[in-house]
Amino acid sequence: MQTIFLTSYIAGTGQKFADFMQNNKINSKRVLFIPTAGNVEGYTKYIDEGKSVLTQLGLKLDLLDIATADIHQCHTAFSAAEIICITGGNTFYLLQELKRKNLDRLLAQRIAEGCVYIGESAGAIILAADIEYNKIMDDSSLAPELNNYTGLNCIDFYPLPHYIDEPFVQSARQTYAEYSKRLNLVTFNNSQAIIVINHNYVVV
């Protein structure tokens, strides 16, 4: 069973996430919180804002940077988690680090098993079958060890976050113009979320 909450900006969708938790009777309070995608970003205030929103909702965050943690620690944490949250940042770097620690397949498996997943921006995009379409918005050169763009393939659409919000107005529009005829792009802005329950999705 899939229980997925995708957002462009956790801090902009706090109430929607609270409703998502209530509507799906999610009682777990511990969240494995992974800010790794922000490691190569100059601006990361959104990560702290996301932490603040989640803690205000009564959740306890266990922080894990998969880039610096060893494989055993990562696999143990992913296997035990009831809720996994991956924040925004560089999508290509994030996928590189997931693959480097052999976490991409494990994460897809955990989501399929019913682990609640919160994906913010890059954390949403990695669930698609392929992340190449995000090259306009993110710099793929920040992931020099990533040799393919195959995503987790947990969803049958391609999330396009920050549509159309600053500072991504131009890149979001350009991505949509270039890929919308080839891919099932689902756009959402910084105050919207995509909820996926067992492969059925709705934008709220």
Active site residue 162: yes
Structure tokens at 139: 């710099």
Q: Does residue 120 sit in helix, strand or coil?
A: strand
**Residue length, the chain?**
204
Is 26 exposed, middle or buried, given 0-12, 13-18 or 19+ CB atoms closer than 10 A? middle
CA dihedral (89, 103, 119, 28) positive or negative: negative
* DSSP-derived 3-state class of residue 158: strand
4 and 127 in contact (C-beta within 8 Å)?
Answer: yes
Helix (H) or strand (E) holding 3: strand 3-7
Quick count: other Cβ atoms within 10 Å of Cβ 70?
A: 10
Type of residue numbered 164: I
From the list 8, 28, 79, 121, the catalytic residue is 121
Residue 171 is among the residues annotated as catalytic for this protein: no
* SS3 assignment, position 99: helix
List 28, 72, 162, 171, catalytic entry: 162
Instruction: Please list the active-site residues.
Output: 121, 162
